[in-house]
Amino acid sequence: MNFEFSDELREHLKKTGKKAVAVELISTTTSDIDITELYPRIVNARMAEQLKKRGYKVFETETAEVLLPKYVLEYSDTVFFSLKKTLFGYRLEMDGIKL
């Protein structure tokens, strides 16, 4: 599996000094439906250590560590992370990982 990062994301990681990207599994349950989604985010060193203790798989890259949950997921040959500017800040997006 190969990980790629957009130029904007590389610059943002360098500027903030953060060196880890985590993909977390987020679930919500209501009386009618269950929703489970993958949520990518940039994490600081302390949070990265906590995720590693919880059993997240760690992949080292030149740009950042990538932490993935221990759940069964579908991976493309290349996983691409990008940073999108929104009205209220930034949002991390990914392509290449599915539930």
Query: Cα separation of 33 and 76, whole Å?
Result: 28
Choosing among 2.60.300, 2.60.40, 1.10.150, 1.10.10, the CATH entry for 2-98 is: 2.60.300
pLDDT above 80 (res 4)? yes
For residue 20, what pLDDT is reported?
A: 97
Confidence of residue 34 (pLDDT cuts 50, 70, 90): confident
Instruction: Output the pTM of the full model.
Output: 0.90
- pLDDT, one tens digit per residue, over 69-83 is 998 899 999 999 999
Neighbours of 15 (CB within 10 A): 8
**Average pLDDT, stretch 18-38?**
89
Determine whether 51 is exposed, middle or buried from the number of CB atoms within 10 Å of its CB (0-12, 13-18, 19+): buried
What is the percentage of the chain residues whose pLDDT exceeds 70?
99
Q: Which is it for strands 20-29 and 65-68: parallel, antiparallel or unpaired? A: parallel
For residue 35, what pLDDT is reported?
A: 86
